[in-house]
Amino acid sequence: MKIGFRCTEGGQRFDEALTEVQHAEELGFDSAWVAEHHGWDAKWPNSYIALAGFAAATDEIEFGTGVTILPQTNPVSLAGAANLVDVVSDGRFILGVGTGWRRDEMENLGYNFESRGPRMTDHLCALNELWEPGPSSYDGRFVSFEEFDLAPESVRDPRPPIWVGGGSTPALKRAARLGDAWLPSWREPFDALEEQYATYESFLDDADGSNSSVPLLRIACIDEDGDVAREKLRTLLTKLVESYRAKGSTVPEAWVSALEGDIDEFAQDLFVYGTPSECAAQLERYREAFGVDHAVLRLATPTTDHEDVMEAVDLFGCRVIPDL
C-alpha cells in the first residue's frame, strides 16, 4: 500500500510544508497532497504553484491536488497547469478534483453554486478531450473550445491520472466514466464506503472501464501513547465542530455524540488513529475490505502545527510504513 499525506498549507507556511515533504520522501512516503481554497488562510488559492515548488526540491515522491474544485476552474487553463506540474515533477503528478462545498467561494469567483454538479461533468469531459492527441475541440454546456493545442505535453502518457472525489451517486458515476480512480471523502464512515465502493464498481462495469488505483483519504492522529492519540483526536473533533458551526455548515450528529460519549466507537470507522501498530492495523483493514492501495493521510489539521506534522511523519515513516 502506498502512503501519502496532506502537509501543512496556507498563509506563509511554504517553507514548513517543503521541509515536511522532503522529510517524508526520505522516510518512504509515496505522495504529498495540497488542497485549494480561495479566501481562506488555512489553504492556498493555487495548489499548483506549491506543488511545483515541492517537485523542484524532491526526486521521487508523487504530488496531488486534494482537491482542485473543478466547477470553479477553467478546464483549458487547468489542463495546462496540470501538465506543467507533471513536467516539473518528471511525471509525478496526480490530479485530484472535487465538486466543492463553499457557496461564497464559488460565487465570488463568478460561478453558479447550484449548477456545480453538471459543470463538474462538463469540465471533466473537456479535460479528457484536451488530453486527446492533436488539436482538440469541445462544445459543452458550460465550456467550449475549437482546434486548441494544449501545451506543454505531460510526461505521463497520455495524461496525469485523474482522481475524482465526491460521494453522491452522480459523483460515483462521473468517477467511473471520466476519471481514473474514485477518491472518497474523509467524512465517509466505513459502512458508507462499503456501499459506495460497490456502486462505483458497478458504474465501472457499465462503462467497461477500469481504475488505476484504489485510494483512501483519512485524517490521522498518531502517538506512541494511544491515550494521547485519542485525546488529540477529541481535541481535533471539538475544533472541527466549532469550525463547521462558525461557517454555518451542518455538523454531523455523530460528531457531537462522539464528543459526549465513547470516541473509539465512533472514530474507528472514520479516522486512522492510535499507536503506530493500531494505525497499521486500521490501514490493513481498508486494504482487506476494499483493496485500497494508496492511503492519503491528513496529518496537518486545524489543531496541528509544523512540529506536530513532523512528529507524525516520523512515526508513520519509521513505525507504520515498514509494516505495510
* Residue 189, helix vs strand vs coil: coil
Which of 121, 101, 219 is closest to 164 using CA atoms? 121
Query: Any idea what DSSP says for residue 318?
Result: I
Please enumerate in sequence order all residues whose Cβ is within 8 A of that of 35, keeping only pairs 6 or more positions apart, or say none.
6, 9, 43, 44, 47, 65, 66, 67
81-139 pLDDT per residue, tens: 999 999 999 999 999 999 998 999 999 999 999 999 999 999 999 999 999 999 999 99
Tell how strand 31-34 and strand 93-98 pair up.
unpaired
| Average pLDDT score over the chain | 95
Show Cβ contacts of residue 240 under 8 Å, excluding neighbours closer than 6 positions.
Answer: 255, 302
Nearest to 95 by CA among 15, 158, 29: 158
- In the structure, what pLDDT confidence band is assigned to residue 250 with cuts at 50, 70 and 90? confident
Q: Write the pLDDT tens digit of every residue in 157-200.
A: 999 999 999 999 999 999 999 999 999 999 899 999 999 999 99
Single out the residue of 319, 313, 308, 318 nearest to residue 281, CA to CA: 319
Looking at residue 129, its amino acid is E
Q: CA distances (Å), 75 to each of 119, 122, 129, 314, in order?
A: 11, 9, 10, 37
Gap between the Cα atoms of 137 and 227, Å rounded: 57
Query: Residue 98: in which H helix or E strand, if any?
Result: strand 93-98
Q: Quick one: how far is CA 219 from the chain centroid?
A: 11
Residue 208: pLDDT over 90: no
Tell me which of 3-12, 86-95, 241-250, 284-293 is least confident.
241-250
CA distance 48 to 43: 12
More confident position, 146 or 252: 146
Length of the chain: 324
pLDDT at 79: 98
Q: Which long-range contacts (CB under 8 A, 24 or more apart) does 108-114 make?
A: 108/38, 108/39, 109/38, 109/72, 111/71, 111/72
3-state helix, strand, coil in the chain (%, to 5): 50, 15, 35
User: What pLDDT score does 11 carry?
Assistant: 93
Q: Is 247 exposed, middle or buried (0-12, 13-18, 19+ CB in 10 A)?
A: exposed
